[in-house]
Amino acid sequence: MEDDRDTLRILVATDCHLGYMEKDEIRRFDSFEAFEEICSLAKQKEVDFVLLGGDLFHENKPSRSTLVKTIEILRRYCLNDLPVKFQVVSDQTVNFPNRFGHVNYEDPHFNVGLPVFTIHGNHDDPAGVDNLSAIDILSACNLVNYFGKMDLGGSGVGQIAVHPVLVKKGTTTVALYGLGNIRDERLNRMFQTPHSVQWMRPESQEGLSVSDWFNILVLHQNRIKTNPKSAINEHFLPRFLDFVVWGHEHECLIDPQEVPGMGFHITQPGSSVATSLIDGEAKPKHVLLLEIKGNQYRPNKIPLMTVRPFEYAEVVLKDEADVDPNDQASVLEHLDKIVRNLIEKSSQPTASRSEAKLPLVRIKVDYSGFSTINPQRFGQKYVGKVANPQDILIFSKAAKKRQTTTGENIDESEKLRPEELNQQTIEALVAENNLKMEILPVDDLDIALHDFVSKDDKTAFYACLQRNLDETRKKLNSEAEKLKIEEEDIIVKVGECMQERVKEISLRSKGDTGLASSTQNLVKCCYSQ
Amino acid sequence: MEDDRDTLRILVATDCHLGYMEKDEIRRFDSFEAFEEICSLAKQKEVDFVLLGGDLFHENKPSRSTLVKTIEILRRYCLNDLPVKFQVVSDQTVNFPNRFGHVNYEDPHFNVGLPVFTIHGNHDDPAGVDNLSAIDILSACNLVNYFGKMDLGGSGVGQIAVHPVLVKKGTTTVALYGLGNIRDERLNRMFQTPHSVQWMRPESQEGLSVSDWFNILVLHQNRIKTNPKSAINEHFLPRFLDFVVWGHEHECLIDPQEVPGMGFHITQPGSSVATSLIDGEAKPKHVLLLEIKGNQYRPNKIPLMTVRPFEYAEVVLKDEADVDPNDQASVLEHLDKIVRNLIEKSSQPTASRSEAKLPLVRIKVDYSGFSTINPQRFGQKYVGKVANPQDILIFSKAAKKRQTTTGENIDESEKLRPEELNQQTIEALVAENNLKMEILPVDDLDIALHDFVSKDDKTAFYACLQRNLDETRKKLNSEAEKLKIEEEDIIVKVGECMQERVKEISLRSKGDTGLASSTQNLVKCCYSQ
């Protein structure tokens, strides 16, 4: 399948999170460098267009600096004299409902040589009275083609119609369906409500029947089913699809996987910048060059070379021979060895890693039977050697069920030691475990959501965390004064206090705000990805 | 002076304040409509370019909606197939120091037919580590040519070099000097420091001597000298200038005025949208079509037709025959008559006023010897008849010097009745009078400035006002409890409390932050214009 007049060539990437860590001295340019690499690969591979799966921006309201940098990159790579060799034959005013209502390369006043098509993610989703996303700014500038923004309507579950962008190149015809991020719970309900999601398949025309189209869907939703309500089941998707680009999940699973019984494959490109230091993000990052001819396609994965190296390890202290619970020095020495090994590993030139950048290093330490170590202090000696000295270590306990006084089972791995509760660790824990419900009462999160949305309060979630942690600490202290409790018990106590807080708050605010179900997704959106 | 190949035709406007009142149901589109009219005039008059004098945006961080609307308007008017008939012959990388470094119409990938040149104002001035302004976003999009951004340097008074944009059309050569807003106090000091401001006049070249250039300066500073330190004296400007475009002042004084002994004229176009309901803003709004041929120019003033009608009146209650201090009904009736007259006046079609829009109406009421009226309640019956029912009335007292207990002269017109202290009236009063120093202690304002700048706290100034007013009210109440004081005396007391607050605070914080002198300008910037 050569590049000929009938082969449509698409560079697929997602979750570029432009502006991520823009205030970090070391990592501030990471997201931009990866995005520029993606654009430059598109140019080098002479693709017909770039397809992005959402979360182009990390912040819903990107900073001035991020906006300017993004515009500069798009302008440098997308505007040129190269001919665009495909046509968009669908109703462009429906596909691109901005003030101009056409695909960007057809605007006579711009020289667009590399079109970019994108949906929004959960980070750069539309908001406000005008329902505008940060992507709309780029669309107003004619630098991207923003599609898949749905009007969710008011009452009930709502109804959406997904109108594909119909792309023709020679004899190849592709129907590109876009579905910008919708709350998973909402979209789940819609998928389970008849006629709520309408797939507007192309009508037969000019000798083309509906089955002649190669059908691609790009969406931006949770895919991993920790809680089935807050993730989208692949089996909800229509069987007529041929290929699905799954955004939002940051782990790179670029090789298309077949969904049994559904007749389509899914590619999950993953993010181009690691936004949480978990195992999945440590895998080499790739983008996909997708070549389509007729009903056949060929996926070519391309490694990203500019991505900052990230090495991840897990260690269970009690399984290690050379460490002694009563000798902290032995623990420190052991962990130091691991860090040094990871740093060395990161500097080995491999196909997918850049050599010049300081690596990210993360060790998840199961410290059962051991004391914890202050991660900041531990990291001091790696300043200048790793990109994240402040949070190399993250502590966890082995999952083992324990009976609490309220008769509930508490999973020990989900417990926190109060001294560890700094923002960094909270974020990491919320991301890695399922701690949400115990740390953050639903109603508090709903209020934070409300503040965040209506009051433009960027700190709402952090304040919510802070408030709840303070309350918990306070309770813990007063409990500790009353009783003489052992350290081990404190862990259990924290759990109980959290439970109490949840009950307290749910008693206080009885009315269901209708937002409660969004909590789990919310935390994920705001802290992990 | 016809439009020929040697005549440069410039449409001059300023202070468009895009996004002003964007959340007001009635006035939300005012700023955009006026700006669109300006662009459409530029198109209709077939000018060579548009020159803006700063404050294109009202907010330093314009909302997404404002950004999108602005980009849409610029894209629709500036991108077209019309030929650009002048050349920029100066070093464009110096004039337009963005990533691209050239005048926008020379970019081969954009069809710019109507170039816009702009400096920044005090509202849309650069900020942050990257020293970026909202104008930089438009510049990155290639929609405007942003010039006059100075690097103020670190130590001492600083040094700036003003490099003109050298424009050539046929035999006409114009040197366009731009000076984006700098704090008046700072610029004042610079003007008084030798070699601090360098005017980089064009070198003789190709048979052109330095005197062959027509020299225009566009700046954005306070011009009215309530306090000479916080305004720029026209006599500080260099005598080689031929023409000055003065931004920032909202009153339309479009006809060029000669500055005696300086050899240049100044045009003050004024804002295209009224942002404070003061006398100066009630004058008809205009823009200037400036035609230059050789060393001759012709100014043509053009009225703006879309601007919302604004009628202003002043009344001194004690001078009115038909009102009685003991009969509030007579006062209400009298004011109602004035409002109705103003509404009627506003609906008379005149050259410069649009007919369809609800008018803005403002009456400044000198209520000496009378009680005040609640402005909100008064305005209720004008809902649907005026655009600003909530703040038609503003109360003042005749200036009459009074001896206070501290021996200072207090100008009575500058006193407030505590019940009037809502945000609306504070803003109006701060704008119209010189209440600043008495209401707002310098140090508090400096802190607010710091919060506003470094912490991105938009509410800093409002919080500062609120805090001080609360303190004042509290003091007043405790004083009132101790002493039996008459209403008239409360006015005096407010003044004393304010003075006390100022003293208290200046004692508390002894170190001069170096920002103190900026106070007066600051209040003006943030609330009036």
pLDDT category, B393, cuts 50, 70, 90? very high
User: Torsion over CA of B299, B302, B308 and B311, rounded to 10 degrees?
Assistant: 60
Q: What are phi and psi of A96, to 5 degrees?
A: -125, 75
Domains identified in chain B, total number: 3
Q: Is the pLDDT of residue A145 over 90?
A: yes
The CA distance from B174 to B176, in Å, is: 6
Query: Parallel, antiparallel, or unpaired for β B310-316 and B360-366?
Result: parallel
B84 and B231, same structural domain? yes
A131 touches chain B (CB under 8 A): no
The answer for A 43-82 residues in CB contact with B (under 8 A) is: 61, 63-65, 67-68, 71-72, 75-76, 79-81
In 3D space, the residue among B440, B438, B446, B367 whose CA is nearest the CA of residue B406 turns out to be B438
Burial grade of A194 (CB within 10 A; 0-12, 13-18, 19 or more): exposed
The pLDDT value recorded for residue B442 is 52
Which tokens sit at B467? 């805090």
pLDDT category, A356, cuts 50, 70, 90? confident
Q: Is the pLDDT of residue B184 over 90?
A: yes
CB-CB: which of B68, B108, B136 is closest to A68? Answer: B136
CB-CB: which of A111, A128, A132 is closest to B108? Answer: A111
Q: What is the pLDDT of chain B when averaged over all its residues?
A: 82
Residues of chain B with Cβ-Cβ distance to A32 below 8 Å are: none
Q: Is the pLDDT of residue B415 over 70?
A: no
B341 and B295, same structural domain? no
Q: What are phi and psi of A301, to 5 degrees?
A: -90, 140
Q: Is the pLDDT of residue A453 over 80?
A: no
Q: Is the pLDDT of residue A353 over 80?
A: no
Residue B403 lies in a domain: no
Query: Parallel, antiparallel, or unpaired for β B214-220 and B160-162?
Result: unpaired
The pLDDT value recorded for residue A293 is 97
| Burial letters A207-218, b for 16+ CB under 10 A, else e | ebeeeebbbbbb
Residue B401 lies in a domain: no
Q: Is the pLDDT of residue A377 over 50?
A: yes
How near does any CA of chain B get to the CA of A396, in Å? 35
CB-CB: which of B61, B68, B129 is closest to A140? Answer: B68
Residues of chain B with Cβ-Cβ distance to A142 below 8 Å are: 75
B251 and B141, same structural domain? yes
Q: What is the mean pLDDT of residues B391-398?
A: 90
CATH number at residue B216: 3.60.21.10
Of A351-355, A365-369, B460-464, minimum mean pLDDT range: A351-355
Provide the domain limits for residue B355: 308-396
ipTM of the complex in this document: 0.78
B426 and B461, same structural domain? yes
The CA distance from B93 to B86, in Å, is: 18
Q: Is the pLDDT of residue B52 over 50?
A: yes
Q: Is the pLDDT of residue B15 over 70?
A: yes
Of A425-429, B215-219, B343-347, minimum mean pLDDT range: A425-429
Domain boundary, last residue among A287, A303, A319 = A303
Residue of A nearest to B68 (CA): A137
The pLDDT value recorded for residue A444 is 59
Q: Which residue has the higher pLDDT, B479 or B370?
A: B370
Question: Does the CA dihedral B180-B185-B191-B197 come out positive or negative?
Answer: negative
User: Torsion over CA of B57, B60, B64 and B67, rounded to 10 degrees?
Assistant: 30
3-class SS string, A247-299: ECCCCCEEEEEECCCCCCEEEECCCCCCCCCCHHHHCCCEEEEEEEECCEEEE
pLDDT category, A417, cuts 50, 70, 90? very low
Q: What is the mean pLDDT of residues B299-321?
A: 95
A24 touches chain B (CB under 8 A): no
Mutate to test the interface with B, among A36, A109, A114 (most CBs of B within 10 A): A109
The CA distance from B460 to B466, in Å, is: 10
Q: How remote is the C-alpha of A171 from its chain's centroid?
A: 36
The percentage of chain A sitting over the pLDDT mark of 70, rounded to a whole number, equals: 73
pLDDT tens-place string over residues A205-226: 777 888 899 999 999 999 977 7
Residues of chain B with Cβ-Cβ distance to A102 below 8 Å are: none
A141/B141 Cβ within 8 A: yes
Ramachandran category for residue B21: left, alpha or beta (phi over 0 → left; psi -120 to 50 → alpha):
left
A323 and A424, same structural domain? no
Residue of A nearest to B136 (CA): A68
pLDDT category, B505, cuts 50, 70, 90? low
The pLDDT value recorded for residue B500 is 57
Residue B168 lies in a domain: yes
B109/A65 Cβ within 8 A: no
The CA distance from B36 to B121, in Å, is: 19
B137/A71 Cβ within 8 A: yes
The pLDDT value recorded for residue B235 is 93
Q: Which residue has the higher pLDDT, B4 or A36?
A: A36
**Contact, A252 vs A286, CB < 8 A?**
yes
The CA distance from B193 to B176, in Å, is: 23
The pLDDT value recorded for residue B447 is 58
CB atoms within 10 A of CB A327: 10
B111/A109 Cβ within 8 A: yes
| Helix (H/G/I), strand (E/B), else coil: A12 | strand
How near does any CA of chain B get to the CA of A214, in Å? 33
Residue of B nearest to A127 (CA): B64
**Contact, A88 vs A163, CB < 8 A?**
no
A98 and A47, same structural domain? yes
Q: What is the mean pLDDT of residues A459-476?
A: 60
Residue B411 lies in a domain: no
B320 and B258, same structural domain? no
Q: How wide is the angle at C-alpha B211 spanned by C-alphas B210 and B216, nearest 5°? A: 90
Q: What is the pLDDT of chain A when averaged over all its residues?
A: 82
Residue B69 lies in a domain: yes
Of A279-288, B136-145, B279-288, B390-399, minimum mean pLDDT range: B390-399
**Contact, A327 vs A207, CB < 8 A?**
no
B278 and B259, same structural domain? yes
Residue A130 lies in a domain: yes
Q: Which amino acid is at B437?
A: M
pLDDT category, B428, cuts 50, 70, 90? very low
The pLDDT value recorded for residue A224 is 79
Q: Is the pLDDT of residue B400 over 80?
A: no
Question: B350: which DSSP letter?
Answer: -
The CA distance from B57 to B41, in Å, is: 20
Q: Is the pLDDT of residue A371 over 50?
A: yes
A389 and A294, same structural domain? no
A387 and A275, same structural domain? no
CB neighbours of B355 closer than 8 A, spacing ≥ 6? B347, B349
pLDDT tens-place string over residues B239-248: 999 999 999 9
B140/A72 Cβ within 8 A: yes
Q: Which residue has the higher pLDDT, B447 or A340?
A: A340
The pLDDT value recorded for residue A461 is 60
B295 and B316, same structural domain? no
In 3D space, the residue among B490, B481, B445 whose CA is nearest the CA of residue B463 turns out to be B445
pLDDT tens-place string over residues A83-100: 999 999 999 999 999 999
Q: What is the mean pLDDT of residues B53-69?
A: 97
pLDDT tens-place string over residues A195-206: 999 999 998 777
Catalytically active residues of A are 123
pLDDT category, A155, cuts 50, 70, 90? low
How near does any CA of chain A get to the CA of B235, in Å? 37
B287 and B424, same structural domain? no
Residue A412 lies in a domain: no
CB atoms within 10 A of CB A106: 14
Count H helices and E strands in chain A, helices first. Answer: 13, 20
The CA distance from B5 to B2, in Å, is: 9
Q: What are the Cα distances from residue B63, in Å, to A134, A266, B20?
A: 10, 37, 11
Q: Is the pLDDT of residue B408 over 50?
A: no
How near does any CA of chain B get to the CA of A36, in Å? 15
The pLDDT value recorded for residue B349 is 63
Domain boundary, last residue among B276, B303, B330 = B303
Domain boundary, last residue among B251, B282, B303 = B303
CATH number at residue A361: 3.30.110.110
The CA distance from A396 to A387, in Å, is: 22
The CA distance from A17 to A14, in Å, is: 9
The pLDDT value recorded for residue A510 is 40
Question: B372: which DSSP letter?
Answer: -
Q: Which amino acid is at B49?
A: F
pLDDT category, A466, cuts 50, 70, 90? low
The pLDDT value recorded for residue A476 is 54
Q: What is the mean pLDDT of residues A114-122?
A: 98
CB neighbours of B118 closer than 8 A, spacing ≥ 6? B51, B52, B53, B54, B56, B135, B144, B145, B146, B147
Question: Does the CA dihedral B38-B39-B41-B47 come out positive or negative?
Answer: positive
A136 touches chain B (CB under 8 A): yes
The pLDDT value recorded for residue B209 is 86
Catalytic hit among B17, B58, B120, B123: B123
Residue B356 lies in a domain: yes
| Helix (H/G/I), strand (E/B), else coil: A215 | strand
CB-CB: which of A72, A109, A133 is closest to B80? Answer: A109
Ramachandran category for residue A34: left, alpha or beta (phi over 0 → left; psi -120 to 50 → alpha):
alpha
Highest mean pLDDT out of A407-411, B124-128, B466-470: B124-128
pLDDT tens-place string over residues A4-16: 899 999 999 999 9
Burial grade of A525 (CB within 10 A; 0-12, 13-18, 19 or more): buried
Residues of chain B with Cβ-Cβ distance to A140 below 8 Å are: 67-68, 71-72, 75
Q: Is the pLDDT of residue B88 over 90?
A: yes
pLDDT tens-place string over residues A491-529: 444 455 555 555 555 555 443 333 333 333 333 333 334
Query: Parallel, antiparallel, or unpaired for β B116-118 and B296-303?
Result: unpaired
The pLDDT value recorded for residue A154 is 60
